[in-house]
Structures are given as structure tokens and as C-alpha cells.
Structure 1
Amino acid sequence: MKKVLIWLAPLLIAASFSCKKSDGNNGVGGTGKGTGSIYFHDTNEGIFKMDVRTGKKTQVLPYDVSRYYWDVSRDGKKILETSDPDDPNNRNYDLYKIRDANSGAVLSSFKWYSGYANATRPIFSPDGAMIAITAPYNGKIFIVDTQGNALYNIYATSGSFTGNLQWMPDNTLLFTINKTLYRSNTTFSDFRRIASFNNFNMISQLAANNAGTSLVFMGAMPGDDNAHLWMINADGSGLKQITQGNETEGAPAFSPDGALLAFGSDLIQSVGVPWTIGGSGQGIALGSSVWGISIMPADGNAYNVENNNAVFHFPQQGKRNNRVPADSDPMEWR
């Protein structure tokens, strides 16, 4: 394998080298607009998809306590998941499985040794040929093929990756180091700064539309008790707040055509597992909390989530059902 080492002082170095079940309340709360399905992890129930036209909710994968993270291919045909090692005597790898999204059958699997802590987070490239992997605490992004063969490494020489990893439609990558957003080229040998968000307390949960023209993220400004959704053009221009209200919104996911945005709202906080987003101890606890699922236009206008008829909220059954964990799991619209 050909290797290339590139110094981007002082910032970056790049090196190349089950069965299903249907929810008992299917069909409730369809939007009557939009197409496709929203994929989400329903707490202690597994991974589900919800048809946005009918509200029908179908289990894709059952709950698995060993599962860390998951992703759905852009065409909705495959699911990628990472889980605990299957060898109890060796905890130095993650077990990766690529499954058929319809049957749940395992199409392929491999073991990924990051050389650091496990619990890696993978996402498919738009063409499904590559997987970008972030690992906690090691300051690296790994890019592999679907058999687990290493293709490239990206790592920060100054600062640290703060998540927000996203593929763009041309197979370039977006990611943040501290509060600055960067974009790679297609060979991951060069990177350019897109935007800096130093005036935010935090930015998280970056999402890009399929056209690669617009980005949305969850952001909290100094003094805010709640985080809201913000939109920015892919070239770093046109930053604007697009959700308003007295609560936090997060977990954004564009519809396949980019016209709508699914997101988490109506946060229910769990007691005893705090994660404060405010810079001085002010904020809300997100750990082990859950969102409701809502949909709004992705037109760049600001919407009050609580009292605007253009914002649709899927009905909830109880305090947990049809809700998305607010700590780490995404929503995806395919």
C-alpha cells in the first residue's frame, strides 16, 4: 500500500495507507409531506425506521446492549454497526458488521483495531465504498474500505477532533478541530478551513444535505440555557439560527431532497446523568435524555418550534416511545 505523509503545520497530518417487528401504534401521526424514512434508535427497543408519510414505525434491528454506534447507507440498503468484541479475552478491537437493511442479515464483518480505546464511531461514504471512523480520545480519523483495510489516517497535531464528522457528496470529509470546521480534498492530503465558531460555547451533531450545499448543527451561545439549530452554507457563509424556543433542539437530519429537516425536540431529561452544555455550569442535562421527533422546512428561515404550524411533531406514546437518545445517537433520513 502506497503511503504519503503530509505536514500541515501546525494543524493536521494525513497519511494514506434479525427479525423485524412493527410498532403497535403504526400509522399514527404521518406528516403527509416528505418521502423516505427516518432512522433512529429507540431507547431499549433497537433501531427503527419511521415512514414520514404515514408515521408507520418498523424495527430494523433489535436492541443490542453491545452495540456502540450505527449508520445507514445513503441508498438505505445497508446498515453499519460497531459493537463489543466477540472475544472476551481480547478487548482491543471493535466488531464491525455490515447488514442488509431489509432482512438484518450480516453481509460482511471485520475487526477494527484502532490501537486505542474501542467504541469507535463509523459512517459510510456517500458511494458506500469507504467508512470514516472516529475513536474516542485518540485524536484520529481512520478511513477504511468495507472489508476493514486501512486507506488513510487523519490526525490533529494541534488541538483535538471534536466530532462532527460528515461525508460530503464528492467523498470529501467535514470535521471540527476544537471549534473550527475543516474540509478535506478527495485524497485527504489537504484540508481547508471552512468556518470558526469561537463565539459558541459548543457545536455538535453536524449534518449536511445530500447536495452538499447546506450544513446544520446544534449550537449553544454564551449565556444560553438551551442549544438550538443553526444553518450555514457549505462554504462557511450565511450563518443563521433556524430554531427558536424555550427548549433545546438537536439531532438534525436533512430529507433526501434537502427540502425538510428532521430534528429532536421536546427534550425529556433523565435525572442523575448530567452533561452540562453551558460554559459556566449553566445549561441543561443531556446525558441519557431523549428527544421527540419533529420536522421543519430546511429553507434557512427561523422557526419557533413550540408554536409554528410549519413545524410538525410526531405524536409520542408515553415518555420513551418514538424518542431518540439525546447523548450520542443520530437520526438519519433516507
Structure 2
Amino acid sequence: MNPPEDKLSTYLRYSVSRGLCRIVVIGLIFVVGTRIFEPSAVANWPCTTQDDCRVLQGGFCFAGLCRGPNENLVRPLFPVAVAPFSDITPDGSEAELTQSLATTLRAMLVPTLFFDVLRADEAPTGAAAEGYQPRAIAFSDWSRAGAYAVIKGTVGVVPGNERVLDLYLYLVEEGRHVPLRHDRQLINHDNARSRLIRWVDDLLIHFTGRPGVMSTKIAFAVRPTPLGNKEIGLIELDTGKETLVTNSDDINVLPTFAPGDNQIAYTGYRRGTTHLYINEKPFSTYENLNMGAEWSPDGKLVAITLSKDENTEIYLLNGTNGEIYSRLTQNSAIDTSPTFSPDGKKLAFVSNRNGAPQIFVMNVDGSDVRCVTPGCSYCTSPDWHPFGSLIVYNAMVGNGQFDLFTVAVDSGAVRRLTNGPGTHEDPAWSPDGRYIVFAGSGRGGDRKKKQLFITDADGRHVVKISTTDGDYATPAWSPVVESDEPFQPIQTPSQRVSGNKEVTLR
């Protein structure tokens, strides 16, 4: 017989959070007639001191992120329009595919939190009829519509009757075409999404200096119905498609991503035991609790919470077979929620050894333990930045509500990312360090149920990504999925296809 879930939740309050879409972006800073300059250097890298930003040559550290020397403290969202795409196949047989590509691309751009995507009805009159060559585009009309850049696309054919997708990025003020690496790609109904992901990454590199995370997924725990048990689910970031990974009469919580394709690990309550599973297969089955696991950056070790010796402690397991490698904590308090530093040499974790849950850091051998949130009365759910010294966590701020904070491990500097309404819990970084996913309530809808949201690294923009009426918790972000398909340029970037006719951009 399963125990009451609220009893299990008492343990899981300390547990680690591991780690799109119909979204409305909040806020737009764009003044017509004022040039928004394109970033030419790496932007938004995490920092704790001015020296961390010296690569930007005059950049400065603000709110834990490097800013360019000319960057306003309030980062603008680039206003981008996706024009109707054109079917230029000789027989016009790809109209449905063509328009679905435009719709999908528009949806992909929004959750990047770098673009304010104009609605289709905000496009200038006649936009659907204008061409995709520079001389055929009414740039002044696009400027009046508020677009800094406009994206156009065509689906045509190449010899062999294969379909080809051509994408064009134009800067409206200059009337200039900006070539990107994956502007031209062979396409079909099966690979359309992956082709767009490639191009969106190119776009983000152009504007920000780094690729995006559109190929990633977010795992989570959810109670689909008020009386149901918690299950593990998955959201595809590029499409917002949401599916359940588990579907059982048991309790499944605390998902994380294990090394390998589609490997999701989670804590499952089965027949009176709390074990760690990978895709329904038992991985850690020691007596009592097995929960809150995270793999080291190299995949060789797993940090996990076990209570095999009665007390709740943090252990390292062999990352392949689950055998115990070492015990890291030996304290009468509760120690849980381990998260690795980017180099794998340190771990952050939660302990109530000072009387209340706080965030601690130690070496991977268990030495040099220190508290990094000494002023916090209830701090849990740490997640270490994928290549920085920042740890994001949630802290109780009153009335049982939580907000998100970051702490710089080296300096101890704390920054608050959210400030109501409602609660914000279980944060997890994206693999590129730009975003944080979390579970929250109070942003519309049922205040008793938590939904999933993402925010940028400084907490300025928040968007909802979950799609059902369930109660969500403990999201985890997957690594970036690298394409196993090599890119083969079809022609030089300046050459395009119109039907079977080759044209050259000018």
C-alpha cells in the first residue's frame, strides 16, 4: 500500500530540481527611428567580477551577466517579422508545407526571449504578394509596422525533384540581406522541424554570439488530474508538444537526464520502496530512499540522496552501474539535492545542519563544506550554472511562497530574480545558461496549481510553457541535441532557386 503522498512530499521539499509554444512576450523596448545595433560580441555570459567580462573590451558585469560597453541595462527584444512564405514549386504543390513552416518558425522565435515576434496581422498590406528579392520588398512599410528585421522563405525544387527551403534575413532599416549558414537546405515533411532549428540557431548566433536551445526538451513531474498520482512528462521546446513518459498507479517525481539518447531518470515509489529508475528500469535500489540524482559532467558519477544507513546523506554512485563509489556527507542533519559544478570538482546541496534548509558547497570528495546562503531561512532546490559560478535556487519569502534567487559561489553575491505574484519553485538552468525553467503559480489560472515557466537569466521576461491543467513540479532541462546529419551546402550562399531557375541575390 502506498503511503500518503504528502508524507513523501515532506522529503521532497528538500529535493533537487533537475533540469514551447503559445507564448506572449512581456515588454518591448523599441523606439521607431532609433537604431538597434546588432551585437557583435558574446553577450549575456555569467559573471561575478568585472574581470569576467574583459573579453567584451569595455563590457561590465551587471546582475550576474556580462553586458556590452554600449548595452542598455534593460535589454531590448529585437522586433522581428516572419513574412508569409512562398511556394515556388513549378506545380504549386507545397502550399501547405510552406505556410506551416512560417507558422512553426514564428512559434520557435518567441521562446528564445530575444525577439518580439510581430503577429501575422501586423504585417503590411500586400506583404503576402511581395517577393523575396530585396528590390521587391517594401522595407519602409515593414519599418512602419515596427519590424527591425524581416524573415522571408520559399519552398522550391532542385534537380532530382527534391524540395529545398530558402530562408532570407533582411535588416529593414538598411534594406540589407544577412546571409546565414543554413539559409538553404533540402527539406521534406519529416525533417522540416530540424531544418528550422538549424536556422534559428544561426539567427541567435548572429544576434547574440551563441546558438540556442531549440533542440532541447524539458522533463517534469505532473499530477495530470486532482486525484491522480504524479507522473513524468516531457515538453519539446520547439513545438510545445507535451507527452507523458510514465503512466502508472505509482508516484514518479524528480526527473533528470541520464547520459545517452532519451534517457530520463526519476524517483519512483513502487510497492513501498523509493528507488531511482531510468526509463522504467531500476538503477539505484538501496534500502529506504534513493532520490534526487544528477550525473557528473563527464557522465562517470551520479550524485544522489540515499538513506540506506537511516540518515539522509549524499553519495556518489558509478554512473554506469549504480554501485556506490563514496559517501560524501556524514551529518545528523538532512543532506540532499546535490548538483555538480561545471567542471565536476564541486557539488552544491541542501542541508538543515544549521537549523533550517540552506545551500552548501563542498568538494567532490566531501571536503571543504561551506554555506553559501547564510542569511537564508529556508533555501532549497539548487542548480549550478552549466559554465559559470552562479547557483540558482528558491527561497521562502513568506506565507509559504517562494521566489527565485542566484548566488555567486565565489563572492557570495545574491540576486533576487522573481518577486511575486504567487510562488516560484524548482529552478533549473538551460544547457546554454541563458534561461531558467521553474514551476510557479499566481500568474493567472489556479493559484493552487503550479505551471511551468521559463525566464531569462536575469528574470526580466517570464513566459508559460506548460499546456495542460495539471499540477507541475521539478522541471529538468535536457542537454543540447546535436544533429547526427552532416550539413551539406547545396550552392553558394548567394545563389537561390526560383522554380527551376537560378537567381542571384544583389
* TM-score bucket (shorter structure): 0.5 to 0.7
- The residue that corresponds to 1:125 in the other structure is 296
TM value normalised by structure 1: 0.66
Pairing 1:291–2:450 present? yes
Match of 1:244 in 2: 419
Supply the RMSD in Å over aligned alpha carbons: 3.2
Is residue 197 from structure 1 mapped to residue 382 from structure 2 by the alignment?
no
Change (3 A) 1:292 1:78: same
1:80 aligns with 265
Query: If you compute each CA radius of gyration, which structure gives the higher value, 1 or 2?
Result: 2
Alignment pair present for 1:38 and 2:218 = yes
What pairs up with 1:254-333 in 2 under 5 angstroms?
254-267=429-442, 290-299=449-458, 303=460, 310-314=461-465, 316-317=467-468, 319-320=469-470, 323-325=471-473, 330-333=474-477
Which ranges of structure 2 fall in alignment gaps of 5 or more residues? Answer: 1-19, 24-106, 113-212, 225-229, 479-506
Post-superposition shift, 1:58?
Answer: 2.9
State the SS of the aligned residue for 2:413: coil
TM-superposed CA distance for 1:266, in Å, is 2.0
Instruction: Give the C-alpha shift of residue 134 in structure 1.
Output: 0.9
Q: Mark the CA change 1:262 to 1:75 in structure 2 (over 3 Å): closer, same or farther.
A: farther
Paired position in structure 1 for 2:305: 134
SS of aligned partner of 1:290:
coil
Q: How many aligned positions are there?
A: 258
Which residues of 2 match residues 36-185 of structure 1 at below 5 A? 36-44=216-224, 46-65=231-250, 67=252, 69-73=254-258, 77-84=262-269, 94-99=274-279, 106=281, 109-110=282-283, 112-114=285-287, 117-118=288-289, 120-135=291-306, 138-145=311-318, 146-157=320-331, 160-171=333-344, 172-178=346-352, 179-185=357-363
Asked if 1:253 corresponds to 2:433, the answer is no
Which structure shows the higher strand fraction?
1
Distance 2:364 2:290 in 1: 26
Q: Which SS does the other structure have where 1:39 is aligned?
A: strand
**Which whole-Å CA distance do the structure 2 matches of 1:234 and 1:96 have between them?**
29
Asked if the contact 2:313–2:336 (Cα under 8 Å) also holds between the matched residues in 1, the reply is no
Structure 1 residue ranges without an equivalent (≥5): 1-25, 272-283, 304-309
Aligned to 1:7: none
| Structure 2 length-normalised TM | 0.45
Distance 1:236 1:162, change over 3 A: farther
What is the distance in 1 between the residues matched to 2:337 and 2:284?
24
Deviation at 1:83, TM superposition (A): 3.3
8 Å contact 1:124–1:132 — kept in the other structure?
yes
Alpha-carbon offset, residue 185 of structure 1:
2.4
Q: What displacement does 1:81 show?
A: 3.3
Higher relative contact order (CA 8 A, sep 6+): 2
Q: Deviations over 1:267-309 (max 9, x none)?
A: 59xx9xxxxxxxxxxxx9xxxx53111111103xx54xxxxxx
Deviation at 1:173, TM superposition (A): 1.5
More helix by share: 2
Identify the range of structure 1 (70-79 vs 164-173) with the bigger mean alpha-carbon deviation: 70-79
